[in-house]
Amino acid sequence: MNTHASWPVAELHVHIEGTLETELLVTLARRNGVELPSYDPDALRELYRFTDLQSFLDIYYANLAVLRTEADFYDLGIAYLTRATAAGVRRAEIFFDPQTHLANGIPLDVVFAGLTRALTEARATLGISADLILCFLRHLGGAAALETLDAAIPYLDQFIGVGLDSAEVGFPPSLFTEVFAKAGALGLHRVAHAGEEGGPDYVHEALDLLGVERVDHGIRAIEDPHLIEHLRERQIPLTVCPLSNVCLRAVPELGVHPLPAMLAEGLLVTISSDDPAYFGGYVDDNLNAVQNEFALSPLQMATLARNSFRASFLPEAEKLRQI
């Protein structure tokens, strides 16, 4: 039964690079003369069978070679914002991975110009509130993250926070204390992926060493009663992405996802899509999936929607208006 009616929500965990649908991938590959394994969008989608986070990241990073110009980043941004608005998203806090594009020879100027133009236009034409969060790639280490933050300082008016993503296990938050301290001193919000594949200790480190305000994924926090208590008492938001967790086998199937247990523990859980072009669904699809799988009540669905605004970086007055 599908009873979800596109509640207004904030989407707090979405990678703009992960919204690159195969149709746009093919268009950009042709536009820029970039080779792909196939030029058939359906055939490309068929390749999206993942066994873990790394198996996804390998394809995801390879596909990003098609993003070369300001117009490419604009097209990517406006496509997501249009689809998200249709999904009920009223506020989007959007990750982007500048180090990937720098490694492909694309200057920061190009990335910011295209994404910022998309956000500005979407605010005006779609009425969606949206901001960017700059993510550091953990597999490149702390020194590279610091270099990236320094290079992004001229663009401080174009992003509201920093995040931490890419391969988790083996790249703990403790490697990034310096760059997160500097980001905090610059007045930026701080979030980090933790407890997706890594254990509860990664969540502890993200909170204690990086000072994050939200935890992205955080599903493995459920294994640690003390951590649960800490997250509940402080109402630290967890941006949970159920379809992503199934596709990347962080959980064996949706039916055993810890979401119901997290809600029962009184955690501030929100639902997001992560990389919707790869995991078979935008935020509305994720909400539908959990509502159907766990027979969530209208009250529980309303709690998830309200949590998303509570957990957002909107000013308090604006949060109250949305809730």
Q: How far is the CB of 163 from Zn ion (least distance, A)?
A: 8
Q: Closest Cα to residue 239, out of 322, 135, 105?
A: 135
Which entry of ligand ADE, Zn ion, none binds 284, CB below 5 to 8 A by partner kind? none
CA distance 211 to 124: 34
| Chain residues 190-209 in contact with ligand ADE, contact rule CB under 6 A | 193, 196
Q: With binding defined as CB under 6 A, does residue 93 bind ligand ADE?
A: no
Say which amino acid occupies 256: V
Q: How far is the CB of 100 from ligand ADE (least distance, A)?
A: 9
Q: Three-class SS of residue 236?
A: coil
Q: How far is the CB of 139 from Zn ion (least distance, A)?
A: 14
Is residue 265 part of the annotated active site? The answer reads no
Selected from 165, 180, 240, 304, the binder of ligand ADE by CB under 6 A is 165
Rank residues 72 and 168 by Cβ distance to ligand ADE and give the closer one.
168
Residue facing Zn ion at closest CB distance: 274
Q: With binding defined as CB under 6 A, does residue 15 bind ligand ADE?
A: yes
Give the β-pairing of 161-165 and 129-137. parallel
In which element (H, E) is residue 85 found? helix 70-86
* Residue that has been written with the tokens 């990034």 in this structure: 176
Q: With binding defined as CB under 6 A, does residue 244 bind ligand ADE?
A: yes
Q: Three-class SS of residue 217?
A: strand
Which entry of Zn ion, ligand ADE, none binds 281, CB below 5 to 8 A by partner kind? none
Known binding residue 226? Answer is: no
Say which amino acid occupies 34: V
Any residues with CB less than 8 A from the CB of 28 and at least 6 apart, and which? 34, 66, 67, 68, 72, 75
Which entry of Zn ion, ligand ADE, none binds 18, CB below 5 to 8 A by partner kind? ligand ADE
Q: How far is the CB of 298 from Zn ion (least distance, A)?
A: 28
CA distance 296 to 304: 10
Q: With binding defined as CB under 6 A, does residue 275 bind ligand ADE?
A: yes
Selected from 203, 274, 291, 311, the binder of ligand ADE by CB under 6 A is 274
Question: Could you tell me if 233 and 256 are in contact, meaning their C-beta atoms sit under 8 angstroms apart?
Answer: no
CA distance 110 to 118: 13
Q: Three-class SS of residue 269?
A: strand
Any residues with CB less than 8 A from the CB of 173 and at least 6 apart, and which? 164, 180, 192, 194, 202, 205, 206, 209, 210
Rank residues 108 and 167 by Cβ distance to ligand ADE and give the closer one.
167
Fill in the DSSP letter of residue 92. Answer: E
Please give the angle made by the CA atoms of 275, 276 and 279, to the nearest 5 degrees.
85
Question: Could you tell me if 34 and 65 are in contact, meaning their C-beta atoms sit under 8 angstroms apart?
Answer: yes
Known binding residue 274? Answer is: yes
Q: With binding defined as CB under 5 A, does residue 274 bind Zn ion?
A: yes
Known binding residue 208? Answer is: no
Rank residues 68 and 193 by Cβ distance to ligand ADE and give the closer one.
193
Query: What x/- string results for residues 43 through 82 when contact with ligand ADE is judged by CB under 6 A?
Result: ----------x-----------------------------
Question: Exactly one of 17, 196, 197, 205 is catalytic; which is it?
Answer: 196
> Binding site for Zn(2+): residue ranges?
13, 15, 193, 274
Binding site for ligand ADE (CB under 6 A): 15, 18, 53, 165-166, 193, 196, 244, 274-275
* Catalytic annotation, residues: 196
Binding site for Zn ion (CB under 5 A): 274
